[in-house]
Amino acid sequence: MERNLEELKRAKIALREQARVVVLTGAGVSKESGVPTFRGKNGLWKEFRAQELATPEAFKRNPALVWEFYEFRRALVSRAVPNPAHVALATLEARVPRFCLITQNVDGLHARAGSKNILELHGNLFRTRCLGCGVLEESFAVPIAQKLPPSCQHCGGLLRPDVVWFGEPLPAGVMNQASEEAGKCEAMLVIGTSGLVFPAAGLPGLAKDAGAFLIEINPESTPLSPMADVCLRGPAASVLPRLLQEP
């Protein structure tokens, strides 16, 4: 407990003193909103096979099945609300001079909590991309169509969720911007990610190499923990509000 308080204090000071702050979030930040993580117990990949659902090959093989998985997720997230961790990050943005929130999450909960400068590395559950004409469209309708898979209103082509599957490149502009922000930040918060999926998992290393103070918030240790200056162990929804509490 003593050590935890000491660590919390060091993290508070770093956040208060640094003008350029970057946050990298993963599925753990939405856990308290009832959105399951991918790995670990009760993780999505325990129940569903990633290779059968989150790859371009899987979609080619059976688009309706892949859409069923995404419809289940879209319905779940539609009912969810941002938790105190999302809200704390929106509050932090308002008080830091240069702030950027990089998220691997596709649930859109950061934006719903009021965060503004967000880079979504793995896309968004509520956007579709047409494989025929390439048009990107936002849709919050659940279900998205009477019959799955949905088709494009403009060209009749097959629509896919605009998320990044294994083996696919991340949106180039977004990843470049994220790397740039990570490479010039003074403090980075790494919250609720297992640090296993690349290239996102490489961003804390870029920040560290540039001399940033690294804070990890996660109930478990991860491959990123050894490079962190401070590890705050606990659920993001309780740790983050305490971290932002003054003094």
* Contact residues: Zn ion, CB under 5 A: 130, 132-133, 152, 154-155, 157
Minimum distance of Zn ion from residue 152's CB (angstroms):
3
Instruction: By CB under 6 A, name the one of 175, 192, 203, 212 that touches ligand BJW.
Output: 192
- What is the CB-side half-sphere exposure of residue 169 using CA atoms within 13 A? 6
Q: What residues are labeled active site?
A: 122
**x-marked contacts with ligand BJW along 128-167 as a string, rule CB under 6 A:** -----------------------------------xxxxx
Instruction: By CB under 6 A, name the one of 93, 128, 194, 228 that touches ligand BJW.
Output: 194
Could you tell me which of 109, 107, 106 has the C-alpha nearest to residue 90? Answer: 109
What 3-state class would DSSP assign to 139?
coil
Give me the torsion for CA of 98, 104, 107, 111, rounded to 10°. Answer: 10
Instruction: By CB under 6 A, name the one of 13, 154, 196, 245 that touches ligand BJW.
Output: 196
What does the alpha-carbon distance between residue 36 and residue 45 come to, in Å, rounded to a whole number? 10
Minimum distance of ligand BJW from residue 223's CB (angstroms):
10
- The one-character DSSP state at 30 is G
**x-marked contacts with ligand BJW along 8-27 as a string, rule CB under 6 A:** ------------------xx
Instruction: By CB under 6 A, name the one of 22, 106, 130, 178 that touches ligand BJW.
Output: 106
What does the alpha-carbon distance between residue 95 and residue 97 come to, in Å, rounded to a whole number? 7
- Three-state helix/strand/coil letters over 58-109: HHHHCHHHHHHHHHHHHHHHHHCCCCHHHHHHHHHHHHCCEEEEEECCCCCH
Amino acid at 165: W
Residues 85-104 that bind ligand BJW (CB under 6 A): 104
Quick one: 128 or 218, whose CB is closer to Zn ion?
Answer: 128
Query: Where along the sequence are the contacts to ligand BJW (CB under 6 A)?
Result: 26-28, 31-32, 37-40, 43, 54, 104, 106, 122, 163-169, 192-194, 196-199, 218-220, 222, 235-236
